[in-house]
């Protein structure tokens, strides 16, 4: 291009007869836009040193009787670069006439040859002659915004635009840029808030509306709106939206998989609190791995809450049972949270009167973010979860609570509540079991004693010995609980032997020495930790360190530790208690006997430690005094 002139090296023209008869010449070339649609024509072309205007411009010059075309179109002037319809590149956008308008002027060449047209029809008119035969070999077809048209039809639109001055005007690039930016700002958030189906529908709808608007604007106002930049914008936004959706979907998928894994891990942790042998790793030997289980079950509510909060990345929390009359009961809690703070949060929740309360504000130095939600919600039963101060975790990357946190927290909280409730049931069952054991022990003791105080003292003595030799607090408590059943086998001994005030015959002694075996058989086969311990105590509490005891004449450390503990406690209380066949011994006399028998009848370490605990022994006797 040379300024407004489009350069070409060759020119195909009409026959020489037409050229010599023509009053003037003009070109009929067209320009193709990026979408392969023809909307404009070059105003001038130059072939070597000769310049030619477009045929329509030359026709207008002739029609108006101007000698120079520059008088009509100032674009040829050196001082002017554009006019109202010329573009800077010298092209002209054509206002395409719709088919219904062209039909008013169209006349078949056959009718012209036959004279089938009104008289004077062509007077003072510009006539275009061209081929419009469908399927012709050399048919001149041009793709236009209104569909494919024959070349002569398109040139008639160019001529009509030139005569009327109704060209197609293209919007300024600055206006197009502003439109693109504005459209992007409006549609961008809509894309992001749509689903995949919604985004696809939005993309297709916007594209269709844009094309329809562009065609309507050109047809009604002669303004050409190039839809391509907007279509590229829509496609780019749609593509970005699809990539964003895919990334989010993959992110959620990976997060969901990670979440499920963490849920499984948390559920395993909570299950372990109900089956603590998985944690302790102890075997089921005479030391009873369940000792630690008992302690862990008691700690389950706090342990469960701590596990839940750690998994969710939350500092503090509580489970709260709402009661009638806006009262409440704290089931369990963990973290830096005081009762008065819980009361304040519950009052605020009741005032809000909403199922879920989320507060992400610095309410105090402690509560920077807060979530209150129902874990169990029934008409007559409601348990709430209170969670304070969230930190980024696998479940969420933010420090603020949101509605997205609710499902996972509710799911894990429900698991935790079940673990807490099961632990409470286990504790209640153990307490019921202990009460039954105690009442059974009292019934047995009443056969050969005036009161059942003996079982309290012997239990406390056994616990004191266990503590002195360094057993864990859980095992000390186990021995204290199992000791009352040490003489359960006596229930099978006849009264005339059990209550005989004088010396027993060998036959009677043989019968009474069977009570450890009878007692162990009564207790064997139980899954109860206490009954397992009681079985060992009942069977071995009459064994002696030197092997002189019964029923198996075991020696030294081959006697189970519980049996060695029970032997000292039972003998000491028997010596210091009143029986039907003897008066009680003084405590000093009994302690002296223990010192003497240490290493003979009794474990020397245990006996020594017990004897040295005189003050504690006196305290026990004071608490559980006969009568």
Do the Cβ atoms of 358 and 348 come closer than 8 Å?
Answer: no
In a shared domain, residues 586 and 503: yes
Instruction: Label residues 521-552 b or e (16+ Cβ within 10 Å = b).
Output: ebbeeeebbbbbbbbbbbbbbbbbbeeebbbb
The predicted structure's pLDDT at residue 462 = 96
Of 175, 166, 131, 122, nearest in space to 150 by CA? 131
Residue 40 has a pLDDT of 85
For residues 452 and 616, what is the distance between their CA atoms, to the nearest angstrom?
21
Q: What's phi and psi for 407, nearest 5 deg?
A: -60, -45
**Shared-domain flag, residues 462 and 548:** yes
One domain, residues 328 and 454:
no
Residue 258 lies in a domain: no
Tokens matching residue 51: 């310049």
Residue 600 in domain: yes
List the one residue out of 507, 490, 481 whose CA is nearest residue 562: 481
Same-domain pairing of 163 and 179: no
Range of the domain at 336: 290-423
| Residue 486 φ/ψ, nearest 5 degrees | -65, -30
* Chain mean position to CA 240: 24
| 366 within 8 A of 341, measured Cβ to Cβ | yes
Domain total in the chain: 4
CA 373-374-380 angle, to 5 degrees, is 150
pLDDT at 258: 62
Q: Is residue 329 part of a domain?
A: yes
User: Of the residues 168, 201, 232, which one is the last residue of a structural domain?
Assistant: 168
Amino acid 75: pLDDT: 44
Q: Which H/E stretch holds residue 327?
A: strand 327-334
Q: Are 30 and 41 in contact (CB under 8 A)?
A: yes
**pLDDT computed for residue 163 by the predictor:** 80
The pLDDT, as a whole number, for residue 260 is: 58
| Distance separating the N- and C-terminal Cα atoms of the chain | 127
Residue 266 belongs to some domain of the structure: no
Sheet holding 381-390, edge to edge: 327-334, 314-323, 381-390, 370-378, 357-359
Helix or strand or coil: residue 374?
A: strand
Do 156 and 180 belong to one domain? no
Is residue 31 domain-shared with residue 109, that is, in the same domain?
A: yes
Residue 114, Cβ density class (10 Å: 0-12 exposed, 13-18 middle, ≥19 buried):
exposed
CA distance 39 to 36: 10
Nearest Cα residue to 542 out of 569, 523, 522: 569
Query: How far apart are alpha carbons 325 and 350 in whole angstroms?
Result: 11
Contact 373, 355 (CB under 8 A): yes
Q: What is the pLDDT of residue 565?
A: 96
Task: Specify the pLDDT at position 22.
Answer: 81
Query: 124 and 21 share a domain?
Result: yes
- pLDDT tens, 489-531? 888 888 888 888 788 899 999 999 999 999 999 889 887 788 8
Q: How many CA atoms lie within 13 A of 431 on its CB side?
A: 8
- Please, what is the Cα angle at 451 between 494 and 505, to 5 degrees? 30
Q: How confident is the model at residue 227, as a pLDDT?
A: 81
The single-letter DSSP state of residue 389 is E
Residues 609, 566 within the same domain: yes
Burial of 9 (0-12, 13-18, 19+ CB in 10 A): exposed
Q: Do 377 and 453 reside in the same domain of the chain?
A: no
Specify whether 188 is located in the same domain as 147. Answer: no
Show which of 145, 168, 191 is a domain's final residue: 168
Q: Does 551 sit behind a cis peptide bond, omega within 30 degrees of 0 on the bond before it?
A: yes
Q: Is residue 138 part of a domain?
A: yes
Token pair, residue 203, equals 């993309």
Q: What is the pLDDT of residue 81?
A: 38
Could you tell me if residue 558 is inside a domain? yes
Reading the block at residue 287, the tokens are 């030391």
Cis peptide leading into 394, omega within 30 of 0?
Answer: no
pLDDT < 50 positions in the chain: 75-84, 273-289, 450-451
Q: Is 466 inside a domain boundary?
A: yes
Domain C-terminal end among 102, 137, 168: 168
| pLDDT tens, residue by residue, 409-450 | 888 888 888 877 777 777 777 777 667 777 777 666 666 654
């Amino acid at each position: 291009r040379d300024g407004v002139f489009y350069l070409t090296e060759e020119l195909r023209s009409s026959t020489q007869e037409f050229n010599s008869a023509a009053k003037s010449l003009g070109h009929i070339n067209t320009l193709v836009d990026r979408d392969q649609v023809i909307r404009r024509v070059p105003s001038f072309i130059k072939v070597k040193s000769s310049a030619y205007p477009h045929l329509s411009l030359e026709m207008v010059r002739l029609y108006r009787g101007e000698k120079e075309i520059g008088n009509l179109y100032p674009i040829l002037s050196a001082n002017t670069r554009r006019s109202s319809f010329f573009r800077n590149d010298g092209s002209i956008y054509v206002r395409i006439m719709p088919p219904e308008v062209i039909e008013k002027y169209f006349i078949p060449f056959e009718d012209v040859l036959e004279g089938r047209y009104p008289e004077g029809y062509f007077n003072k008119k510009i006539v275009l002659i061209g081929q419009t035969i469908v399927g012709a070999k050399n048919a001149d077809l041009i793709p236009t915004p209104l569909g494919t048209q024959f070349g002569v039809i398109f040139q008639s639109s160019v001529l009509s635009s030139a005569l009327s001055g109704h060209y197609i005007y293209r919007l300024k690039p600055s206006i197009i840029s502003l439109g693109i930016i504005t459209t992007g700002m409006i549609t961008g958030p809509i894309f992001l808030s749509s689903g995949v189906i919604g985004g696809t529908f939005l993309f297709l709808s916007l594209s269709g509306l844009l094309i329809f608007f562009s065609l309507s604007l050109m047809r009604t106002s002669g303004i050409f709106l190039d839809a391509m930049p907007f279509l590229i914008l829509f496609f780019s936004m749609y593509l970005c939206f699809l990539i964003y959706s895919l990334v989010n979907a993959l992110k959620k998928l990976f997060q969901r998989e990670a979440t499920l894994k963490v849920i499984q891990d948390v559920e395993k942790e909570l299950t372990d609190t109900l089956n603590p042998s998985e944690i302790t790793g102890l075997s089921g030997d005479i030391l009873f791995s369940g000792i630690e289980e008992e302690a862990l079950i008691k700690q389950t509510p706090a342990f469960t809450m701590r596990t839940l909060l750690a998994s969710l990345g939350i500092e503090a929390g509580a489970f709260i049972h709402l009661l009638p009359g806006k009262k409440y009961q704290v089931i369990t809690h963990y973290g830096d949270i005081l009762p008065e703070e819980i009361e304040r949060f519950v009052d605020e929740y009741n005032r809000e009167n909403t199922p879920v309360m989320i507060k992400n504000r610095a309410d105090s130095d402690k509560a920077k973010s807060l979530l209150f939600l129902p874990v169990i919600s029934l008409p007559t039963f409601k348990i709430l979860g209170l969670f304070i101060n969230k930190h980024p975790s696998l479940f969420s990357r933010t420090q603020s609570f949101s509605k997205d946190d609710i499902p996972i927290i509710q799911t894990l909280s429900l698991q935790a509540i079940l673990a807490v409730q099961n632990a409470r049931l286990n504790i209640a069952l153990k307490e019921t079991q202990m009460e039954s054991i105690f009442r059974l022990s009292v019934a047995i003791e009443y056969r050969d004693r005036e009161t059942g105080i003996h079982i309290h003292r012997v239990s406390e003595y056994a616990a004191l010995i266990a503590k002195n030799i360094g057993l864990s607090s859980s095992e000390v408590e186990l021995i204290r609980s199992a000791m009352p059943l040490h003489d359960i086998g006596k229930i099978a001994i006849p009264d005339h032997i059990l209550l005989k005030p004088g010396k027993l015959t060998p036959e009677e002694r043989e019968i009474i020495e069977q009570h450890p075996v009878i007692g162990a058989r009564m207790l064997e086969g139980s899954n109860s930790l206490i009954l397992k311990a009681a079985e060992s105590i009942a069977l071995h509490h009459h064994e002696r360190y030197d092997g002189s005891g019964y029923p198996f004449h075991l020696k030294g450390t081959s006697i189970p530790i519980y049996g060695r503990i029970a032997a000292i406690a039972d003998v000491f209380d028997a010596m210091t208690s009143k029986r039907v066949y003897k008066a009680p011994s003084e405590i000093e006399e009994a302690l002296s006997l223990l010192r003497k028998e240490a290493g003979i009848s009794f474990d020397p370490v245990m006996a020594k430690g017990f004897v040295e605990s005189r003050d504690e022994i006196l305290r026990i006797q004071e608490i559980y005094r006969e009568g």
